[in-house]
Amino acid sequence: MNTGADSYFERVLKFGYGTERAINLFNQYGSEEQGSHSVDRVLQEMEDKIRARKK
């Protein structure tokens, strides 16, 4: 379990890759590449709802 492709280290790397894509800290992924569960998309939806209530 601690060696090879299914090791803890490889699992952490895979998890980190997924979170890096979702957070998109350095804007290296377009919205199409991020998928439907990106932090940017969630925050944009929240912002839109808040602005709609203010009107």
Give a yes or no: residue 28 inside a domain: yes
Domains in the chain, number: 1
pLDDT at 35: 67
How high is the pLDDT of residue 1?
61
- 1, part of any domain: no
Residue 33, token pair as written in the block? 């590449």
| Spans of the chain, pLDDT less than 50 | none
Contacts of residue 1, Cβ cutoff 8 Å, sequence gap at least 6: 7, 8
Q: What distance in Å separates the CA atoms of residue 29 and residue 16, rounded to the nearest whole number? A: 15
Measured distance CA(54)–CA(2) in Å, rounded: 53
What pLDDT score was predicted for residue 2? 80
pLDDT for the residue numbered 42: 84
Give me the torsion for CA of 15, 13, 4, 2, rounded to 10°.
-80
Could you tell me if residue 18 is inside a domain?
yes
pTM over 0.85: no
Tokens representing 9 are 């280290």
Domain extent at residue 17? 8-54
